[in-house]
Amino acid sequence: MTSMIERSAKMVASKDVEIIVKNPETGPEAIESFMDENVSTINVIKEVIRPTLGKVDAVVIACFDDPGMYALREILDIPVLGIGESSVLMSLVLGWKFSILAVSEKAIPLMENMLYRYGLEKRLASIESMKLSVVDVDKMSEEEVLKPLIKAGEQARMKGAEVLILGCAGLAGYDEKLSKKINLPVIDPVKAGVKLAESILQMGLTISRAGLFSKLVHSEW
Amino acid sequence: MTSMIERSAKMVASKDVEIIVKNPETGPEAIESFMDENVSTINVIKEVIRPTLGKVDAVVIACFDDPGMYALREILDIPVLGIGESSVLMSLVLGWKFSILAVSEKAIPLMENMLYRYGLEKRLASIESMKLSVVDVDKMSEEEVLKPLIKAGEQARMKGAEVLILGCAGLAGYDEKLSKKINLPVIDPVKAGVKLAESILQMGLTISRAGLFSKLVHSEW
Amino acid sequence: MTSMIERSAKMVASKDVEIIVKNPETGPEAIESFMDENVSTINVIKEVIRPTLGKVDAVVIACFDDPGMYALREILDIPVLGIGESSVLMSLVLGWKFSILAVSEKAIPLMENMLYRYGLEKRLASIESMKLSVVDVDKMSEEEVLKPLIKAGEQARMKGAEVLILGCAGLAGYDEKLSKKINLPVIDPVKAGVKLAESILQMGLTISRAGLFSKLVHSEW
Amino acid sequence: MTSMIERSAKMVASKDVEIIVKNPETGPEAIESFMDENVSTINVIKEVIRPTLGKVDAVVIACFDDPGMYALREILDIPVLGIGESSVLMSLVLGWKFSILAVSEKAIPLMENMLYRYGLEKRLASIESMKLSVVDVDKMSEEEVLKPLIKAGEQARMKGAEVLILGCAGLAGYDEKLSKKINLPVIDPVKAGVKLAESILQMGLTISRAGLFSKLVHSEW
Amino acid sequence: MTSMIERSAKMVASKDVEIIVKNPETGPEAIESFMDENVSTINVIKEVIRPTLGKVDAVVIACFDDPGMYALREILDIPVLGIGESSVLMSLVLGWKFSILAVSEKAIPLMENMLYRYGLEKRLASIESMKLSVVDVDKMSEEEVLKPLIKAGEQARMKGAEVLILGCAGLAGYDEKLSKKINLPVIDPVKAGVKLAESILQMGLTISRAGLFSKLVHSEW
Amino acid sequence: MTSMIERSAKMVASKDVEIIVKNPETGPEAIESFMDENVSTINVIKEVIRPTLGKVDAVVIACFDDPGMYALREILDIPVLGIGESSVLMSLVLGWKFSILAVSEKAIPLMENMLYRYGLEKRLASIESMKLSVVDVDKMSEEEVLKPLIKAGEQARMKGAEVLILGCAGLAGYDEKLSKKINLPVIDPVKAGVKLAESILQMGLTISRAGLFSKLVHSEW
């Protein structure tokens, strides 16, 4: 999965931007639950964030559930983007209603819960599931992945989706193929995260230290 | 803080219910950020959940931010209550609008974010802050705590609050004193969590395995 | 119907709690409309509330529409619970989305209207109807009731329900049977009302006299 | 109060429309609570609705809380308008945000609860209170009423109100005076109810018998 | 189309009200897009508003998308009604949920967007499309129009609609026929606009000059 | 104003991106009303869009009200960004609540109306006004502009704003100065629009032709 993420990221990155894609050595095979999000956040901080501290200008969390996004925004002094949030925001300038194409059935309520949390559910057409696990997707051929993905996309379209979002980093790279089949714009969330990170940096912006991400943190990390 | 939590819990527990109050040895001094929530959840699982597995009938997370509540619901087969969620639900049968009296200013957006996530913001009058840290509160005398608490309560009342919620486990036990001063019902969140846990148990109910808390968990714990 | 309500209530009541189940002599055969709610409220006050005044510690209105709940909260100095509101609140700690299984088709908009009023519609998956009248249900055998109830539950599950709520006091006692068939937690609203009433009492709480339930009442009763 | 209501109603009624203003003999002095709403609804049905059945073409409930509006819509075959609902709807074509000027402080949550129920809270600027009882207003001179009314209107304006609604039938007739003082459109709710009733009639429309107001009523009346 | 609009308007107008129906000579054949709305607004101002300035007491924009409604409210000193907004408001006193029957598929998101803008989406059951263009409808026979209209109405009813709104001025006059077939109240938007305009006038009300429609306009017209 | 817009745009544009800033010759001095939006849209299409057709890759509408954004999305086959929408989206990754600092008081309801339309009002802290006209701002010195801007920013901060948005293209370039004074991230909307346009282009995305922006346009342009 990491190589697909890397390819998507580099495909859209500006020339003068260096992309470093890192996966923690330890941790769950995939992130599909709140438990996985918790464990991964700790691992990512130890194995990815700490070693690169001061060496990178922004962090893009390449998992659609945006695990640890809020925590990292608290402790880091550089922009932290989640690919879930980023892709939803980008979808809003391309059409009225968006749908997320998720891998597992569990992801349907999980992503709806996430959208409620972000206050971004009002433009949601639907969340569709491929009825698989992320672990499966990683082992399947392109064709095997495309079939249920197209089906999910068609269901979304019937429910009013005007823009589709690939709801998993493991689906990075399927945007163009799906778009051709379905004839709707399809957002690769990794690309959305990278471009939004670049934009924030080039605008000279940083995370607000007032309110939600203020630095009242008691934990060592 | 743990002793006050224990006292509140035991004060309302039914006679045939045994209350075990446990705090992990390691971890942050207080939980006031997403980072703290993440770290604490891991510690609580290791030091509190694992050793008591199979020996308790329900779990009440005695921190108002409900850290790890969703993760624990995924991995445990017993009811898991958060005192934040529990107290908001209980407030709704006592009046139209509730306010949460929080300790820190950071807690204001943090709790609003939590209410959005729960879809429970529609009856919120306000979140008021004592402009302190939980660490301070733990060291202050009763009188020193009551003063900013009453001030926060009065602000809430002016904004339409009909019921007040103590927005921190560290405020457990202040419900009656504040209620007398302010003349509004005041909810001790620890008590709310304990009573709701008992209720769920006596009704023979368990966490739904469909949807948000289904057991698609890849992490070991 | 009254006997089933009594059985459910007593099944979950704490040992030291005495349950008194009372139905007014006069009034409509069932409560399925706003008109019925109005008439019943007056009858309940005359025939049930007045005679027991000072002799009970809390009131649970055992009709899912919560008829007269707001009016009783204004005039009584003890907690007043409605089984509709209580069961919705309890469902929220067991899963993300709940569905209500109602008896009549009219109940669908009626309960949605009620949820809007309570500000509690955001976690609703659906309201399903058995397409019957409460009067029918009272005369049908257990098996005859279960069949449309299971069908309604299956429709709810397909629409994302993680927790089911029996949307009528006349369905009290069907929780376990339905839960086994559908494999989702099912809430008996009478049980929810009783446990929430006990909880409020044991926490020493009362209805707020500020705001919505303040005692500006001109009517004699 | 009845005479002021009559004057307002007749002032806007079309020439070919006869206005009959009726107050039940029995019942509370004023309607300021849910309890009052319940009692009044029964009295209105007995003393006003039944005697005029078949003799009127529409009913306008001249109390801002719209007591019994839903029940009357169930049992009658003619349009039933509430002056609260009617005036909110009319305000929406005159500006972006409206405020309601209520008599008592209790009316603030009561009317907000009503707007939630109607799904009409999104354009609300504020509900302001004159901090009086309806009973007082009925005994006060025009000047005595205008003073707190203007103050409430000024507060509303500061909170973004573009249109003001008189939140009590007892304020009928104060619309022009207040409008001149505050320089905002002011809606007399009695006038709004009468005009909307006429409009519905002239369009040949009736209450829908599907859904919320379907005739599943068990009560005799 | 103009003749049908005229017939509907005159059918409900009060005797002492003169209806003038005017269509600009130039402009798009139909208004089904934001682009069409923009162009038409300019044409309407030039060819309809300017020549009648000072000669009419109110303006009703007889296109369901309410093109130019906000702009006209800024520049005119008389009430300006849109038939889309007017019919939605009127539907709310006849049932709980309304559906709009639109001509084109594009109208579905367009009208939902409009309802979001008005803050009036909470009572929407659905927007159904006849899958035609307004240009087609204008050329079709009554029977040809009725068939897809009835089908759309039936779909709406299945989704909980209690009141139907004809979502196009080109459907003016079909209200009674559809109502008879579907057995639900059907609102002709032209009639709704006319009656609401009359009501506002007879109540002596005008557009608020505070806030959204204040006269900070730099354009000449 | 145009020169400030140009400077902001070029400051953040990627090296390989050419920025063309064009203002129509005819039209209102400033855009502060719906009427102005309508007139400007027509002028922009004639004088800016038509002459550059096929020569640009994306359009950024440099007016905070996003005039004509929906119409241009219908007729053009390239991404069309509005700086109002763009800056709100960007603010959401930097903090929990945003405030918009507007020039005129009329802009307060106008922008709130815009946020309702976009379904993006849930994270709004407040809209603050400098109580000026855009025409004034254009003639004032930097210091004269900064004073009321800082005051508005301070009011926003007190209401919970964590990120500030400059609510007018005429304020382009004031982001850094204000940010230093207020110590919050400040978004220059022109920069946000340019970066989002670049991002959409580099991701190979286009406006969806399904739904809201489908090409059912009857007007010539």
Q: Residues F17, F202: contact at Cβ < 8 Å?
A: no
Do chains C and F touch, with touching meaning 3 or more CB–CB pairs less than 8 Å apart?
no
Which residue spans within chain E are E strands per DSSP? 59-61, 80-82, 98-102, 124-129, 163-166, 186-187
Interface test with F, best of B112, B114, B127, B131 (most F CBs within 10 A): B112
d(CA B117, CA A115): 8
Say yes or no for a CB contact (<8 Å) between E75 and F35: yes
Q: Mean pLDDT over residues F94-105, rounded?
A: 98
Q: What is the pLDDT of residue A65?
A: 98
Task: Examine the pLDDT at C187 and tell me if it is beyond 90.
Answer: yes
Chains that touch B (3 or more CB pairs under 8 A): A, C, D, F
Interface contact C200-B89, CB threshold 8 A: no
Nearest CA in chain C to E97: C109
Share of chain A above pLDDT 90, in %: 98
**How many degrees, rounded to 5, is the angle at CA C186 between CA C184 and CA C187?**
155
pLDDT of residue E202: 97
pLDDT at site B1: 78
Residue E13 has pLDDT above 90, yes or no: yes
Residue with tokens 């089984």: C83
Q: Rounded to a whole number, what is the distance in Å from the CA of A13 to chain F's nearest CA?
A: 8
pLDDT (0 to 100) of residue C1:
78
* Mean pLDDT of all residues in C17-44: 96
Residue F98: list chain A partners with CB under 8 A.
none
Q: A123 with A92: CB under 8 angstroms?
A: yes
CB contact residues (below 8 A), chain A span 160-219, against chain E:
160, 162
Flag whether pLDDT at A128 surpasses 90.
yes
Query: Which of E112, E126, E159 is the best residue to mutate to test the A interface, defined by the most A CB atoms within 10 Å of its own CB?
Result: E112
B56 CB neighbour count, 10 Å cutoff: 17
Tell me the mean pLDDT in the region B77-106. 98
| D202 to E187: CB separation less than 8 angstroms, yes or no | no
Give the rounded percent of residues in chain A with a pLDDT score beyond 70.
100
E1 pLDDT higher than 90: no
Phi and psi at C187, nearest 5°, equal: -100, 125
Structure tokens at D152: 């409430």
Please tell me the distance in Å from D176's CA to the nearest CA on chain E: 9
| DSSP summary character for residue B100 | E
D141: tokens are 């001179």
Is the pLDDT confidence value at A1 over 90? no
Q: Where are the beta strands (DSSP E) in A62-185?
A: 80-82, 98-102, 124-129, 163-166
Interchain contact D/B (3 or more Cβ pairs less than 8 Å):
yes
| Chain E residue nearest residue F76, CA to CA | E35
Query: Hey, what amino acid is at D161?
Result: A
Closest-CA residue of E relative to C127 is E160
Q: What is the pLDDT of residue C207?
A: 98
pLDDT of residue B183: 97
> pLDDT tens digits for D57-103?
999 999 999 999 999 999 999 999 999 999 999 999 999 999 999 99
SS3 content of chain F, % helix, strand, coil (to 5): 50, 10, 40
Which among E93, E95, E185, C117 is positioned nearest to D211, based on CA atoms? E95
E64: Cβ contacts below 8 Å, ≥ 6 apart = E83, E84, E87, E100, E102, E107, E111, E167, E168, E169, E189
Helices and strands (DSSP H and E) totals, chain C: 10, 6
Q: What is the mean pLDDT of chain B?
A: 97
Q: Which of E109, E214, E219 sits opposite F39 (nearest CB)?
A: E219
Going from the C-alpha of A81 to that of each of A61, A78, A192, the distances in angstroms are: 6, 10, 9
Mean pLDDT of C83-90: 98
Residue type, B188: D
Q: Given this model, what pLDDT does residue A64 score?
A: 98
Q: Which residues contact B143 (CB under 8 A, 6 or more apart)?
A: none
Please check the confidence at residue E43 and state whether its pLDDT lies above 90: yes
Classify burial at B107, counting beta carbons within 10 Å of its beta carbon; exposed 0-12, middle 13-18, buried 19 or more.
buried
A212: nearest Cα among A41, A34, A70: A70
How do residues F191-211 score in pLDDT, each as one tens digit?
999 999 999 999 999 999 999
Residue E138 has pLDDT above 90, yes or no: no
Which chain E residue shows the shortest CA-CA distance from C108?
E160
Using 50, 70 and 90 to split pLDDT, how confident is the model at D138? confident
List, for residues B179-213, the tens digit of each pLDDT value. 999 999 999 999 999 999 999 999 999 999 999 99
CB pairs under 8 A between B and F: 8
3-state secondary structure of A55: coil
Q: What per-residue confidence (pLDDT) applies to B138? A: 86
Our CA angle for C130, C133, C134, nearest 5°, is 100
pLDDT value at E153 more than 90: yes
Are the beta carbons of A87 and A165 closer than 8 angstroms? yes
Residue of F nearest to D125 (CA): F109
Q: What is the mean pLDDT of residues C57-78?
A: 98
Q: What is the pLDDT of residues D17-39, one digit of tens each?
A: 999 999 999 999 999 999 999 99
C-beta neighbour count of B220 within 10 angstroms = 8
**ipTM of this complex prediction, to 2 decimal places:** 0.97
- Label residue F151 by pLDDT band (50, 70, 90): very high
pLDDT at C113 over 90: yes
The SS3 assignment for A178 reads helix
- Which chain B residues contact residue A28 at CB under 8 A? 217-220
Residues of F in contact with B116 (CB under 8 A): 122
- B168: confidence class by pLDDT, cuts 50, 70, 90: very high
The nearest CA of chain E is from the CA of C116 a distance in Å of 9
User: Is the predicted pLDDT of residue A138 greater than 90, yes or no?
Assistant: no
Is B105 touching F (CB cutoff 8 A)? no
Question: What structural domains and CATH numbers belong to chain D?
Answer: 2-83+192-213 (3.40.50.12500), 84-188 (3.40.50.12500)
* Spatial separation of the C-alpha atoms in residues B98 and B192, rounded to whole Å: 14
Contact A207, F185 (CB under 8 A): yes
Task: Please compute the mean of the pLDDT values over residues E170-181 and round it to a whole number.
Answer: 97
- Helix (H) or strand (E) holding F163, with range, is strand F163-166
C139: Cα separation from own chain's centroid: 20
Mean of all residue pLDDT scores within chain C = 97
d(CA E168, CA E83): 9
Between chains, do F97 and B108 touch, taking CB under 8 Å as contact?
no
Q: Do A209 and F92 touch (CB under 8 A)?
A: no
Give the pLDDT confidence of F13-49 residue by residue, as tens digits: 999 999 999 999 999 999 999 999 999 999 999 999 9
- Provide the pLDDT for residue B37: 97
List the structure tokens of D154.
């000024």
Asked if A42 and B42 come within 8 Å (Cβ–Cβ), the reply is yes
**Residues D207-213: what's their mean pLDDT?**
97
Mean pLDDT value of segment F176-204: 98
Question: Which of B:106-165 have CB within 8 Å of C?
Answer: 118-120, 122-123, 157, 160-163
Q: How many CB atoms lie within 10 A of CB B58?
A: 18
D86 phi, psi to nearest 5 deg: -60, -45
Q: Does D34 reach chain B within 8 Å, measured CB to CB?
A: no
Interface present between B and E (3 or more CB pairs within 8 Å): no
- Determine the distance from the C-alpha atom of residue D39 to the mean position of all C-alpha atoms in its chain, rounded to a whole number: 17
Contact flag D34-C70 (C-beta cutoff 8 Å): yes
Question: pLDDT-derived band of residue D217, with 50, 70 and 90 as boundaries?
Answer: very high
Q: From the candidates C105, C115, C218, C220, which should be mutated to test the interface with D, based on the most D CB atoms within 10 A? A: C218
